Homo-oligomer: A and B are copies of this chain.
Amino acid sequence: MACENETATVLREARQKVTPQRVHILCAIRHAGVHVTASQIIEDLARDHPFIDASTVYRTLASASDLGLVYETDMGTGDSEFEWVGKHRHHHLICRTCGEVTSLDNSYLDGLATLLYEEAGFQADLGHFAIFGVCNDCQKTTQQQ
């Protein structure tokens, strides 16, 4: 599968050993498309590759996150969710009421990053942000009640 070769290349470029376990774990995230939790990945892998230990999954996810291969975000569910780092940087608007997750273009936060750097000398890492609040639909519903 092309995905597996590509993933192996990414690992090699990051100076990581290319093991079948890592390739399977990272491919599972890529195929998922959306955010997935560690336990979802373990469940997914259990079907095709039951020999992969849970601790290996956790360690691989942690190192991949350190290397910037995947984004690790707390979406308010308690445990962190992982997403493959694609070309398109984006953020998430998470509704506290209905739980809906909307993608938000990167441009919204560029201004903030510039401001923080100019005024506080702080180089903010706004690569992947989770913003909580109430979505448009839920605001209407609440007002009607």
The smallest beta-carbon distance between A7 and chain B, in angstroms, is 25
Considering the complex, give the chain B residue whose CB is closest to the CB of A140. B121
Complex CA gap A119/B125 in Å reads 23
Kindly provide the distance from the CB of A15 to the nearest chain B CB, expressed in whole angstroms. 19
A74-B74, A96-B125, A111-B111 as given contacts; A136 in contact with B116, CB under 8 Å: no
Given known A-B contacts A115-B108, A116-B108, A134 and B126 have beta carbons under 8 A apart? no
CA distance A111 to B111 in the complex (A): 10
> Is A109's CB within 8 Å of the partner chain B?
yes
Does A120 sit within 8 A of B, measured CB to CB? yes
Is B135 a contact of A121 with CB atoms below 8 Å? yes
The contact string, 1 if C-beta is below 8 Å from chain B, for chain A 108-129, is 1101100110011111111000
The yes or no answer to A104 lying at the interface (CB within 8 A) is yes
Provide the residues of chain B in CB contact with A119, threshold 8 Å: 108
Most chain B C-beta atoms within 10 Å of own C-beta, residue among A119, A131, A139? A131
A133 at the binding interface (Cβ < 8 Å): yes
Contact B132 A125 (CB under 8 A): yes
* Residues of chain A whose beta carbon lies under 8 Å from any beta carbon of chain B: 74, 93, 95-96, 102, 104, 108-109, 111-112, 115-116, 119-126, 131-136, 139
